[in-house]
Amino acid sequence: MMTISPINAFSDNYIWLIERGQQAFVVDPGEPDPVLTRLAERGLELAGILITHHHFDHTGAVQVLQEKTGCDTWGPASSPAGIFDHTVTEGDRASVLGESFEVLEVPGHTLDHIAYFCSAQSALFCGDTLFVGGCGRVFEGTTAQMRASLEKLSALPTDTRIYCAHEYTLGNLAFAQMVEPDNVALSTFVAACQDKRARDVPTVPSVLEGELSYNPFLRWSSAAIRQTLIDAGRLRDDSPDGVFSAVREWKNQA
């Protein structure tokens, strides 16, 4: 059986640990020590590393882990992070402990950003593209690129679990409630997440079906969000890209 669990890193990063038997993969290891500690505690051998994008909080441990374990690495083909053993692009597949992980290109946060989707486990590892209740900042791409990437992820099966790389949920949801105050699915989810955080339990993974109901960065078709933007004098372009850009810009300033 394959299991997926978080390893905490820095102040709010999750490095995802994928285990089957005594073998493991990690996704986006920014720091080596928490990974090495967990591997030792559980008696696991590191077989591979999956990277979603070049930022240091996702790649900082790659070299050390590779040297210490000799594991293989997978990462985006056009990445400033350097050379991986396996460079992957849209539609490529990585074999992860006997399961097939499909690569989706999701530029926007960075231009090299990719996500890994495992249909057998209904699991998506999406780095800093889609967050629980939010999305990554658009650093390198355009907001239109980012929205297209999120639209691609929205089309995955609705039971897909969203393994993103940061615990940003409560801040994201506070913003979501500002742009869509009457969303009942959102207020129900906020209460559940506040309860988890009070007990120091991760809010990640969430489920795509839920994200579609409360995440304002997937809700460019919401009449309520459009109305909030209009009332705030923030909707300059009434199109999906215009709504998404206005929401992203507002969040950047909030």
Residues lying near Zn ion in the complex (CB under 5 A): 55, 128
Residue 131: its H or E element: strand 130-131
For residue 252, the minimal CB distance to Zn ion (Å) is 15
For the question of residue 58 being annotated catalytic, the response is yes
User: At 89, which amino acid appears?
Assistant: T
Pairing of strands 13-20, 2-9: antiparallel
- What length is written for the chain? 254
Cα torsion at 49, 53, 58, 59 (round to 10°)? 60
Closest CA to 133 of 196, 191, 189: 189
Under the binding rule (CB under 5 A), the answer on residue 211 touching Fe ion is no
**Which of 66-74, 126-134, 167-175, 228-236 is the region at the interface with Fe ion (rule: CB under 5 A)?**
126-134
Residue 26: its H or E element: strand 23-27
Catalytic residue among 53, 92, 200, 241: 53
Catalytic residue among 54, 57, 112, 113: 57
**Residue 55 vs 219, nearer CB to Zn ion:** 55
Under the binding rule (CB under 5 A), the answer on residue 57 touching Fe ion is yes
**Residue 62 vs 229, nearer CB to Fe ion:** 62
Quote the DSSP letter at residue 17: E
- The HSE-up count of residue 97 (CA atoms within 13 Å, CB side) is 24
Under the binding rule (CB under 5 A), the answer on residue 128 touching Fe ion is yes
**Residue 57 vs 105, nearer CB to Fe ion:** 57
Residue count, binding to Fe ion (CB under 5 A): 2
**Which of 52-60, 142-150, 152-160, 205-213 is the region at the interface with Fe ion (rule: CB under 5 A)?**
52-60
**Residue 105 vs 128, nearer CB to Fe ion:** 128
Closest CA to 162 of 215, 200, 113, 85: 215
Catalytic residue among 28, 54, 112, 166: 166
Adjacent-strand bridge partners of 50: 27, 74
For residue 139, the minimal CB distance to Fe ion (Å) is 10
Which residues are the active-site residues?
Answer: 53, 55, 57-58, 109, 128, 166
Which spans of this chain sit near Fe ion (rule: CB under 5 A)?
57, 128
